[in-house]
Amino acid sequence: MDVRAAIAFEAGQPLRIETVQLDGPRAGEVLVEIKATGLCHTDKYTLSGADPEGLFPAILGHEGAGIVVEVGAGVTGLVPGDHVIPLYTPECRQCRSCLSRKTNLCTAIRPTQGRGVMPDGSSRFSFQGRPVLHYMGCSTFANYTVLPEIALAKVREDAPFDKICYIGCGVTTGIGAVLFTARVEPGSTVIVFGLGGIGLNVIQGARMVGATRIVGVDINPGREAMARQFGMTDFVNPKDLKSKDGGPDGDVVGHLIELTGGGGDYTFECVGNPTLMRQALECAHRGWGVSTIIGVAAAGQEIATRPFQLVTGRRWIGSAFGGARGRTDVPKIVDWYMDGRISIDPLITHHLKLDEINEGFELMERGESIRSVVMF
Ligand code: NAD
Ligand code: 022
Ligand code: ZN
């Protein structure tokens, strides 16, 4: 069938909107009409060419929501008309990882997903007779896409697509890191580095579980107001901190430890900057502080600290997709949104048409958007 898609033909070039051919679903697969998709950092990173694992030509996008149109042989859990959210972290419930209950990183289709193809090794997309690759198993920058059944969460039908698409990445990543990865307790002190889409969702997750002190750190003063709306109690702009030696950088870690009376019970890095990852670890409380890395650093970057920081009881951990098991947890998060327990609407700062998708990446680059959503 003909579908409208934004194709990444090569690194560093803008996306091009074209009519692409899409084959129907094979065994275990599902054809989905995508109604809305968010633009996320990883899409921009891959398009830039800086991602050594980026493959071209491909149809990017991994933060979508839509409706099942057709199911392939052997699909038992979904029927046409179901509302779904694609999962770049699938949940097969059968692999060693799923059965371990210790991780959300399902391995059932990992090798083929990384190569931009479906589990049978082929692509469903083509343009002018040549295959176009899938991306993160989702390819939501197309008005129709095909996914494995295990990579789709079935969600309630009264939820608006242009808001719940964000649960396909940013919302679940931020809230999940608090609930599922760090397991923050009521009464905790939380420190959040980076108040973009991820950091704001960490903040609302922390508020939801009853954290009493939520400190936000960002160099963009424009992020303070929204963060306070989401539950931040204290704001620190590192640029405003005076340095002891007259140099450009103040002592962020020392300031945060003093402000919180010893450091954060839980800290989160939501930027992708190794210097901030170190600061987030070192401002975690001596003896028990847990620091969670969420930000994705550029390929080849390394993190450092003194072993003393860990020997004295701090723990350094990381979180992918908020530690969420997609088919189990994503429908619950949609319910929390519909019940008013979490807020998404103010985070969707821009609505775009598919033709305007490149402008969405420019808004992201300039730090003007939290989330831009393309509606098909
Ligand atoms: P964003 O650009 O919206 O937000 C980043 C924020 O960090 C901005 O407000 C910016 O001002 C702030 N910042 C930049 N440099 C800073 C510094 N030196 N000190 C303090 N603040 C600084 O990005 P986002 O959408 O919130 O994503 C954040 C990160 O999370 C990205 O690296 C993204 O790839 C990653 N991410 C990870 C996962 C996962 O599963 N682990 C999922 C989604 C996103
Ligand atoms: C989503 N991310 C960043 C912004 N939006 C993001 C990027 C990577 C991961 C998670 C979220 C991630 C963490 C760990 C892994 N990935 C590896 C998982 C594994 O090996 O099982 C990751 C994922 C998907 C892909 C690449 C890396 C992919 O499909 N290409 C989950
Ligand atoms: Zn994302």
Structural domain boundaries in the chain: 2-168+344-375, 171-321
270 is known as an active-site residue: no
Q: How far is CA 61 from CA 38, 135, 174, 192, 352, in A?
A: 8, 7, 19, 26, 14
- Gap from CA of 271 to ligand 2 centroid (Å): 15
As a whole-number percent, the residues of the chain with pLDDT over 70 amount to: 98
pLDDT at 250: 80
* Ligand 2 atom closest to Cα of residue 89: 31
**Tokens linked to 252:** 């962020």
Other CB atoms within 10 Å distance of the CB of residue 305: 15
Q: Are 69 and 300 in contact (CB under 8 A)?
A: no
pLDDT digits (tens, 9 = 90+) for 326-343: 999 999 999 999 999 999
165 is known as an active-site residue: no
**Tokens linked to 256:** 């945060």
pLDDT at 247: 60
C-alpha triplet 85, 293, 51: angle, nearest 5°: 70
- Gap from CA of 54 to ligand 2 centroid (Å): 12
Pocket residue to mutate for ligand 1, from 166, 270, 275, most atoms within 8 A of Cβ: 270
The residue type at 293: I
pLDDT digits (tens, 9 = 90+) for 217-262: 999 999 999 999 999 999 999 999 977 666 656 899 999 999 999 9
Which of helix, strand or coil describes residue 84? strand
* Ligand 2 atom closest to Cα of residue 110: 21
pLDDT at 21: 98
95 is known as an active-site residue: yes
Quote the distance between the C-alpha of residue 95 and its chain's center: 23
Q: Which one of the listed residues 4, 16, 26, 41 is annotated catalytic?
A: 41
Q: Which one of the listed residues 16, 26, 70, 92 is annotated catalytic?
A: 92
pLDDT digits (tens, 9 = 90+) for 185-217: 999 999 999 999 999 999 999 999 999 999 999
Q: Ligand 2: which residues within 6 Å by Cβ?
A: 40-42, 88-89, 105, 110, 113-114, 136-137, 169, 296, 320-321
**Average model confidence (pLDDT) across the chain:** 97
Closest Cα to atom 11 of ligand 1? 220
pLDDT at 248: 59
* DSSP summary character for residue 180: I
Q: Which one of the listed residues 18, 70, 95, 228 is annotated catalytic?
A: 95
pLDDT digits (tens, 9 = 90+) for 288-327: 999 999 999 999 999 999 999 999 999 999 999 999 999 9
* Ligand 2 atom closest to Cα of residue 136: 29
Pocket residue to mutate for ligand 1, from 167, 271, 364, most atoms within 8 A of Cβ: 271
Give dist(CA 242, CA 246) in Å, integer. 8
Judge if 2-168+344-375 and 171-321 fold alike in CATH terms. Answer: no
pLDDT at 364: 96
As a whole-number percent, the residues of the chain with pLDDT over 90 amount to: 98
Ligand nearest to the CA of 62: 3
* Ligand 1 atom closest to Cα of residue 322: 40
Q: How far is CA 213 from CA 58, 116, 203, 209, 339, in A?
A: 43, 43, 10, 12, 25
**Tokens linked to 195:** 């108040």
258 is known as an active-site residue: no
Q: How far is CA 65 from CA 13, 209, 294, in A?
A: 26, 27, 23
Instruction: Could you please state the CATH topology (level 3) that the domain comprising 2-168+344-375 is classified under.
Output: Quinone Oxidoreductase; Chain A, domain 1 (3.90.180)
Q: List the one residue out of 372, 349, 368 whose CA is nearest residue 360.
A: 372
Q: Ligand 1: which residues within 6 Å by Cβ?
A: 41-42, 169-170, 173, 193-199, 217-220, 223, 238, 270-273, 276, 294-296, 319-321, 367
pLDDT at 244: 65
pLDDT digits (tens, 9 = 90+) for 97-114: 999 999 999 999 999 999
Domain 171-321: CATH superfamily is NAD(P)-binding Rossmann-like Domain (3.40.50.720)
Residues 6+ apart with CB under 8 A from 321: 87, 88, 89, 104, 169, 172, 173, 176
pLDDT at 209: 98
**pLDDT surpasses 80 at 39:** yes
42 is known as an active-site residue: yes
pLDDT at 279: 98
41 is known as an active-site residue: yes
